[in-house]
A and B are shown apart, each in its own frame.
Chain A
Amino acid sequence: MNTRGLGLVLLASFLWPLISWGQVSFDRILRADQEPQNWLTYSGTTLSHRHSLLNQITAANVKNLELQWIYQARSLEKFEATALVVDGVMYTVQAPNDVIALDAATGRVFWIFSHAPEPWTKPCCGHVNRGLAILGDTLFMATIDAHLIAIDAKNGRPLWDTTVADAKSGYALTLAPLVVKDKVIVGTAGGDYGIRGFIAAYDVHTGKESWRFYAIPEPGDPGGSTWGGDSWQEGGGPVWITGSYDPALNLSYWGTGNPSPDYDGDSRPGDNLYTDSVVALDPDTGKLKWYYQFTPHDEFDWDSTQVPVLADLEWPEKDGHQKQRKVILWANRNGLFYVLDRTTGQFLLGKPFVKVNWTNGIDEQGRPMRVPGKTPSSEGTVIYPGNRGGTSWYSPSYSPRTGLFYVSTWDSYSSVFFKFPVKPGEDPRGGHRSLIPDDRLLPQHFRKDEEGYGAVRAIDPKTGETKWEFKMADVTDAGILTTASDLLFSGGRDGYFFALDARNGALLWKVAVGGVLASGPMTYAVRGKQYVAVAAGNCLFTFALR
């Protein structure tokens, strides 16, 4: 968008609330980048760049950012949600499953919808929620007890409530749903509890299930032979991060999680499709168009539950010419950065972006060349990256302006992986892992860099090379936002929220928010004023220029 276009956007937002509201049509969602005063999906657009065309906050004035308001959650759970903003109203989730509508300019509450989850939920990693989807005047929330609930965006009242899966069997929903046309799509968490993970679509008006795609195929189906015996029945394959959608190809893309048991793969011989993969699904039918598996027969719990970033790049062909390619950019938990052709799933590039010792790279077919002996063992095996991966679910960003892919990384740390068979009543993961040093969430930090550190890395997607990095003392669970003024916002467990120059990684501004950033920053505008918001600790912080 040019400067004039942005000016019109800001003028429109300035007139609010005197202009009438428009419903959030799917067409608006597809063109979300053209109304940057709003934030209409988990990652900003269905292409998931987490990049905004707003440019009021610049490298020159970012030092003038100041706190506008804080929303303190009535919850001690991690605050992992990315808020939505529609025409001056912010919608977010207070863990586990309270939906809150706020005045985006003041942080004052319009309404709260509370869903009390069933008491038997047993998520692996906290009663968390990562946000909402919206279509029309309806919000959609996936709940920790595996329900999908439609909520009236104007009054916070539930419209329908569908049970997606049985929470007693280990299923949970933690992701922000994705709306495609007249369907709302979710996936199931619970890969550490022997679920059979799936992605499913529901009619936005009725909540009736439209289709279901199992991440673990049955025997006889394509991919079913990659599981031994009955292991497929509890094969894992959770889907706990929001997918992306390409309207030109009419394909939705989803990252799938680890096979189960996590660390002892002896009971599930084979590649264990479609775990640790990206699957391209027809959003109308749920049919699989293609898949690519990042970590065949994973025994490290390296979920591929990352946000699929859809970009169009000039890519060198075999004849040396450059050709426009529709690609997916993917920094995987296994420590490698990938570029795939998103029309066909063809592997184009794979390169480590952190220290790895389990593979010698990727062969021409796109399969990792495993290092012998680098598997879990009864005496323990040291693996780089560690169990938490080179990155994880933390939202990356892609800036079409800089052409760089930005990702939060954990580097130079390892885990010792142990393997032992699953026994009834014992740890269902079949072994365990010990991070070196232990993975703590204390306000104090004691690691040396060689024991692991966090960094924002800017990767050139055409080469896989790191162009710059911004190091932190502690590791990071934060997502990344970039803007049209070449700013990058992120943070980490250090408890800082900061702005970098997206071109070179120079620190431009920082504020100590005290709590761990375990969410993705987002930006919006109200009445011509740009805001940047991020959740940290148990609070949502919002900043704007003074």
Chain B
Amino acid sequence: MRMWAVTVCTLVLAAGTLHAQETDLELGKGFFLARCAVCHGPDGNSVQGVDLGRGKFRRALSDDDMVQIIKTGIPNTAMPPIDISTRKAKYIVAYLRSMASSPATSGQGNTVRGKALFEGKGGCLSCHRVKDKGSRVGPDLTDVGAIRRSFELERSLLEPNAEVLLENRFVHVVTGDGVAITGRLLNHDAFTVQLIDSKERLLSFQKSSLKEFAFLDESQMPSYRGKLSPEELADLISYLVSLKGIETQ
């Protein structure tokens, strides 16, 4: 993913006629998560009888049909019209088509056991946070189940370096007086850098005042391959998928 900006490969999509660059798929994913996932879920399977991620629809549809349904909705159903341009709807369709070719995830796990793993043996809270529990140094996972697909979660657990989102990058700095600090990057520009460090401090530095400033290419996330049994992995993923964010009360 880190090289997507220069990737020019074109995908022939499994079930459609749209051709999409991977950057288009990223856009489509963003629109899907923002406009569709609230009902369909990030895997596209939260509505009974519909599994967008597996190409399972209630109606046989061409790409153009899908664009039309996104824009106009389906009368007398829960599918509302979405106020979105045709161009953006096409991005969504391209992303839906690409989802069908994603690898299968582990079997259905036990969410309760997964939570115990997350908070216990897995040691996940030492870096991650869910609601008001855990560390803020790594990505907050309170709503990870609403924005990440199960196969993506599995991949992150087994191959953390396979995909590191831009917003989850870490940097290492050494201050002018020799203090070394590693933290998750929050922002940077030509002159300054902002990060959250291991003590959960929001820090900001002038780059000119630093002796060192470097991105860490490796993920700070350890691989759990071989550390968890397949059942434990499924339990953990099941728990992560269940994390949908806070609910309005």
**Partner-B contacts on A (CB < 8 A):** 17-18, 20-21, 88-89, 101, 103, 105-106, 108-111, 147, 152, 154-155, 157-163, 207-208
Q: Does B203 contact A162, Cβ atoms closer than 8 Å?
A: no
Q: Encode contact with A along B28-62: 1 for CB under 8 Å, 0 otherwise.
A: 00000000000000000000000000000000000
B217 within 8 A of A: no
Q: Once the chains are docked, how many angstroms separate the CA of A161 from the CA of B186?
A: 24
CB distance from A406 to the nearest CB of B (A): 34
B66 within 8 A of A: no
Q: Which of A21, A105, A208 contacts B204 (CB 8 A)?
A: A105
CB distance from B199 to the nearest CB of A (A): 6
Q: Which of A17, A161, A207 contacts B203 (CB 8 A)?
A: A17
Interface size, chain B (Cβ < 8 Å): 25
Q: Does B199 contact A20, Cβ atoms closer than 8 Å?
A: yes
Q: Once the chains are docked, how many angstroms separate the CA of A110 from the CA of B203?
A: 9
Q: Does A20 contact B201, Cβ atoms closer than 8 Å?
A: yes
Q: Once the chains are docked, how many angstroms separate the CA of A163 from the CA of B248?
A: 7
Contacts known (A18-B179, A101-B202, A154-B136); A108 close to B187, Cβ less than 8 A: yes
Q: Once the chains are docked, how many angstroms separate the CA of A163 from the CA of B246?
A: 13
Q: Once the chains are docked, how many angstroms separate the CA of A20 from the CA of B198?
A: 11
Which residues does chain B contribute within 8 Å of A208, judged by CB atoms? 249
Q: Does A161 contact B249, Cβ atoms closer than 8 Å?
A: yes
Which residues does chain A contribute within 8 Å of B219, judged by CB atoms? none
Contacts known (A17-B201, A160-B249, A162-B249); A106 close to B140, Cβ less than 8 A: no
Q: Once the chains are docked, how many angstroms separate the CA of A207 from the CA of B204?
A: 32
| A104 to B, closest residue via Cβ | B204
Which residues does chain B contribute within 8 Å of A152, judged by CB atoms? 132, 136, 140
Q: Encode contact with A along B131-143: 1 for CB under 8 Å, 0 otherwise.
A: 1100010001010
CB distance from B148 to the nearest CB of A (A): 15
A to B CB contacts below 8 Å, 5 in the list: A106-B204, A110-B187, A111-B186, A152-B132, A161-B248
Which of A106, A111, A157: most chain B CB closer than 10 A?
A157
Which residues does chain B contribute within 8 Å of A154, judged by CB atoms? 136, 196, 200, 202
Given contacts A21-B200, A159-B132, 14 further A-B contacts (CB under 8 A): A17-B203, A18-B179, A101-B202, A108-B187, A108-B189, A109-B194, A110-B186, A152-B132, A155-B136, A157-B129, A159-B246, A160-B249, A161-B246, A207-B249
Q: Once the chains are docked, how many angstroms separate the CA of A103 from the CA of B186?
A: 11
Q: Once the chains are docked, how many angstroms separate the CA of A18 from the CA of B178?
A: 12
| A21 to B, closest residue via Cβ | B201
